[in-house]
């Protein structure tokens, strides 16, 4: 059976780092099995869904290199949900309920006050036909619930969490349809998974109780309408937390746009999130194939996965240091060639910093004030500067012999005079880029 995974965001906002991790792991699961990764836009909430967010989701996945093999939109599949709803209603698995939000909240408070779990009491099932007719005569439109089967425990072998078992009687019958006829998450998601042939549902552990409910929903749908379909496998990964070990609102706002603004490379984000929360080391791996080959749900842990900005920056810098000129040429400042990139690259944490370092070559630079003996030394350097294949080492060797200087007194004044900085790129690579005329002019100016 072809492995089919799906990423199903709601277009009510931008993707955040937790969504990105879920999308990545579903993409990797499909790619490792040679299967298909599907994008499903869960846009049944017409009031909150925005087309601009649909476009942003597509753009973010493209930036990350997570191109889907197909796309579906729930807003175009409403007839499918209607048919499934009618089939479940005919099978006695859905029922109308008339409580208002306030009435349900009061019930929850009473149950909690009695030390009971706040589970829906199935009060709607106790209504007589006349009582239901009276409600509707009053203009009370029902919402609809899926009726769970309390006779059998709900079990599954979770790809991350192992054997799972739920008592259906300890779960509320979920609302699947609002009084205005619009759909909630549960039923459309199950219908789509069966209809699209999804074989593996990999999502956050906050969906574990949803899965327990949906397993019964899958079973009921297969019996009522999808006889040839199979229930998907389920895996629930630990949620992301901040470096301090707590769930953070900040993680909910960290999206691709924020990472792009900071100069984070997409491959750095992928390398970090691919293994975050697993027993495998997080490494600056640029090759997607290597990450895909090592992807294994058995390495995923139960502890919360800690997202650390410092670790992302470390990975990003390491990957920038691996990038060849052709991959970044279009992002570099005008005039910067392959030699310039090679000289400056080891000093970068982000590609956009190349422009700042390139000013050491193009100028102007601001030189420090030099002591009298250093000015004399730099005047000597200007006289001894000779151009060839390796002008830096030729100059420093000549100065060492002529002045007796070595170590920091030999090298630092030269670097300061030529770049205006105490540190930076390898001078043996940088000096040829500055050029003989400009280098001598800088040394003469510093000596003055």
Q: Is there a binding annotation on residue 246?
A: no
What distance lies between CA 120 and its chain's CA centroid? Answer: 36
255 neighbors 15 (Cβ within 8 angstroms): yes
Which sign, positive or negative, has the C-alpha torsion 405, 408, 409, 412?
Answer: positive
218 neighbors 98 (Cβ within 8 angstroms): no
What is d(CA 130, CA 139) in angstroms, rounded to the nearest whole number?
14
Alpha-helical (H) ranges within 50-206 are 51-64, 78-90, 101-113, 129-137, 186-195
- Cβ neighbors of 179 (< 8 A, separation 6 or more) are 141, 142, 143
Question: Do you find a cis peptide bond into 111, omega within 30 degrees of 0?
Answer: no
Beta bridge partners of 94: 146
CA distances from 130 to 92, 127, 147 (A): 19, 8, 21
- Cβ neighbors of 102 (< 8 A, separation 6 or more) are none
Both structure tokens of 367: 């030189």
Residue with tokens 């229930």: 231
Choose among 246, 242, 264, 361: nearest CA to 308. Answer: 242
What is d(CA 23, CA 281) in angstroms, rounded to the nearest whole number?
20
97 neighbors 144 (Cβ within 8 angstroms): yes
HEC secondary structure over 389-439: CCHHHHHHHHHHHHHCCCCHHHHHHHHHHHHCCCCCCCHHHHHHHHCHHHH
φ/ψ of residue 340, rounded to 5: -65, -45
What beta strand segments (E) does 252-402 contain?
A: 305-306
φ/ψ of residue 157, rounded to 5: -95, 105
Annotated binding site for ATP: 249
């Amino acid at each position: 059976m072809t492995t089919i995974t799906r990423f199903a965001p709601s277009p009510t906002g931008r993707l955040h780092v937790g969504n990105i991790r879920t999308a990545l792991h579903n993409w990797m699961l499909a790619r490792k099995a040679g299967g298909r990764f599907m994008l499903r836009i869960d846009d049944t909430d017409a009031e909150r869904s925005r087309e601009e967010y649909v476009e942003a989701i597509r753009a973010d996945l493209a930036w990350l290199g997570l191109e889907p093999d197909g796309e579906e939109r729930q807003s175009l599949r409403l007839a499918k949900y209607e048919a499934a709803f009618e089939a479940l209603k005919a099978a006695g698995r859905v029922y109308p309920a008339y409580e208002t939000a306030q009435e349900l909240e009061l019930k929850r408070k009473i149950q909690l006050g009695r030390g009971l779990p706040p589970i829906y009491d199935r009060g709607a099932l106790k209504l007589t036909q006349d009582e239901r007719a009276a409600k509707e005569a009053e203009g009370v439109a029902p919402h609809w619930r899926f009726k769970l089967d309390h006779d059998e425990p709900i079990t599954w072998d979770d790809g991350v969490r192992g054997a799972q078992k739920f008592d259906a009687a300890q779960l509320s019958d979920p609302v699947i349809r609002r009084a205005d006829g619009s759909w909630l998450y549960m039923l459309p998601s199950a219908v789509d998974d069966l209809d699209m042939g999804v074989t593996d549902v990999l999502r956050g552990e906050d969906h574990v109780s949803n899965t327990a409910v949906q397993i019964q929903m899958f079973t009921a749908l297969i019996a009522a309408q999808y006889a040839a379909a199979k229930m998907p496998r389920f895996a629930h990964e630990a949620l992301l937390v901040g470096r301090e070990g707590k769930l953070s609102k900040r993680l909910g706002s960290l999206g691709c746009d924020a990472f792009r603004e900071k100069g984070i490379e997409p491959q750095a984000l992928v390398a970090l999130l691919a293994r975050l929360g697993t027993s495998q080391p997080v490494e600056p791996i640029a090759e997607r194939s290597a990450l895909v080959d090592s992807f294994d749900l058995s390495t995923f842990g139960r502890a919360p996965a800690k997202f650390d900005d410092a670790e992302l920056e470390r990975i990003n810098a390491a990957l920038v240091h691996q990038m060849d000129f052709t991959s970044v040429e279009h992002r570099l400042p005008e005039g910067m060639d392959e030699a310039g990139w090679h000289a400056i690259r080891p000093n970068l944490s982000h590609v956009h910093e190349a422009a700042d370092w390139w000013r050491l070559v193009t100028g102007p630079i601001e030189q420090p004030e030099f002591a009298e003996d250093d000015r004399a030394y730099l005047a000597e350097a200007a006289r001894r500067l000779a151009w060839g294949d390796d002008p830096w080492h030729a100059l420093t060797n000549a100065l060492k012999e002529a002045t007796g200087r070595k170590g920091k007194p030999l090298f630092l004044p030269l670097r300061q005079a030529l770049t205006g900085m105490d540190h930076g790129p390898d001078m043996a690579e940088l000096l040829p880029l500055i050029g003989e005329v400009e280098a001598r002019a800088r040394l003469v100016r510093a000596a003055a």
